[in-house]
Amino acid sequence: MARLAFLLVLLAGTAVAGPPDAARQDQLRHMVRQDCGSCHGLRLTGGLGRPITAGALAGRDVEDLSGVILDGMPGTAMPGWRPLLTEDEARWIADYLLKTETE
Partner 1 sequence: MFKATLAALLLIASPALADELRGTGDLGLIVEREAGSLLVVDRSERAAIGRIEGLGDLSHASLVYSPDERFAYVFGRDGGLTKVDILTRQVVRRVVQAGNSIGGAISDDGRLVAVANYEPGGVKVFDAETLELVADVPMGSKTVGIADAPGSRFVVATWDTGEVWILDHSTDAAQPAVTKLEGIGANPYDALLTGDGRHYIVGLFGEKGLTQVDLWQDPPKVTRFLPDYGKDQPDLPVYKMPHLQGWTLADGVFALPAVGLHQLLWVDADGLAEIARTDLAGQPVFALARPDKREVWVNFAPPDNDKLQVVDVLSHEVIDTLAPGKGVLHMEFAPRGREVWLSVRDENRVEIRDTRTREVLGEIEARAPSGIFFTDRAHRTGL
What count of other Cβ atoms lies within 10 Å of the Cβ of residue 24?
20
Closer by beta carbon to partner 1, 30 or else 61: 30
Reference 28, options 79, 85, 101; nearest CA is 85
Closer by beta carbon to partner 1, 39 or else 98: 39
Query: Which distant-in-sequence residues (6+ apart) come within 8 Å of 60 by Cβ?
Result: 98
Residues of this chain, 68-97, that bind partner 1 according to CB under 8 A: 72, 77, 79-81, 83-84
| Selected binder of partner 1 within 12, 38, 61, 100 (CB under 8 A) | 38
User: Using only C-alpha atoms, what is the Rg of the chain?
Assistant: 14
> Which window, 17-25, 46-54, 56-64, 93-101, contacts partner 1 (CB under 8 A)?
46-54
Q: Min. distance of Cβ 70 from partner 1 in angstroms?
A: 11
Alpha helices for the chain (secondary structure H): 2-15, 22-31, 37-40, 62-71, 87-99
Binding site for partner 1 (CB under 8 A): 30-31, 33-35, 37-39, 41-43, 45-48, 72, 77, 79-81, 83-84
